[in-house]
Chains A and B, each alone.
Chain A
């Protein structure tokens, strides 16, 4: 259970709290997001290893070796250039952070989304100014669950419509695009209101997309229960999921938007904190509304 001391990333205060997950495939460095599974050639710090050359045993001709080496250097140069240009528009390295999850994290997070009432410590642990990767901290936002939940929601919507003989392949595309548009609108509205209230927070846009995407889990649960047990089941499970998403949002956003004193439960007076509290409440209240809006037409 000891990490080697040469890593240099560890801080003293992390040592008693970092638990070794039983996976055993971790390479032991908390600063590295993904395990390095490339077959021996490592072309970057993120471990994006492309370079397993097939057929290396077959060709021993020096001319073809030369050609292969030249071709591979061309390919890696082209890849570098493309990555550099793509990185300007979509921050790929930051995106990787949000997908560094493992099964234990996903299980715990899904449990938190449905039952957040027993969880006590909602703070995200930091490691030298950057948040710890999601696989080491349950409270960190990730993009894996929202992405998977979105796709599952579309499939479940298709299933629900199919059981009512209202299915056609175009409907899947329409559901997907309308859900995506509502997500974009919600993220833009939250961004605008954060700007107007001049909150100094470290919530990035991707964080907001991740947090807004967590409601799809509740929607899927609602629709599936509604398929099995009819309208009463749908309303009951949707009520439960709305309440838990409400509590989850408030507890997650409270630490990020409100100032430290207010976040600890001390009632801090002042117009600014009041505004921020209203903002948190509004964001949290918008989630159940969206959850109902996007699913009620699926249950008949």
Chain B
């Protein structure tokens, strides 16, 4: 029973990360993707990793996973 709550919470968190809009919101804060390219070498840094993570979550969610998520939430 707690496992189901965990799955639901994970799905909702992932959705929350995925709906952060790139232009309207992230660029205004300074977390847009274009501004952080140029980090060659050994210094990715936490912020670059986070920005890349958000972008990749959005890309993945726009694919097949949307259908899975709708199915889980509708149960």
Contacts and interface: CB of A to CB of B under 8 A. Distances in A.
> What bracket does the count of chain B residues touching chain A fall in?
10 to 19
B1 A177 contact: yes
B49 A184 contact: no
Interface string B1-19: 1110110000000000000
A59 interface: no
Interface in A166-200: 173-174, 177-178, 180-181, 184-185, 195-198
Contacts of B6: 181, 184-185
B49 A180 contact: no
Given A196-B46, A198-B44, A177 B2 contact: yes
- Which of B2, B44, B49 has the largest count of A CB atoms less than 10 A from its CB? B2
Nearest to A173: B1
Contacts of A181: 2-3, 5-6
B50 A177 contact: no
A181 B10 CA distance: 12
- The majority secondary structure among interface residues of chain B is helix
A110 interface: no
Nearest to A177: B2
Nearest to A185: B6
B53 A177 contact: no
A203 interface: no
Contacts of A198: 44, 49
Contacts of B53: 195-196
A272 to B, nearest CB: 8
Interface in B1-55: 1-3, 5-6, 44, 46, 49-50, 53
Interface in A145-185: 173-174, 177-178, 180-181, 184-185
- Which of A177, A196, A197 has the largest count of B CB atoms less than 10 A from its CB? A196
A260 to B, nearest CB: 16
A185 B3 CA distance: 11
Interface of A: 173-174, 177-178, 180-181, 184-185, 195-198, 275
Given A174-B1, A177-B3, A198-B44, 18 more contacts: A173-B1, A177-B1, A177-B2, A178-B2, A180-B2, A180-B3, A181-B2, A181-B3, A181-B5, A181-B6, A185-B6, A196-B46, A196-B49, A196-B50, A197-B46, A197-B49, A198-B49, A275-B46
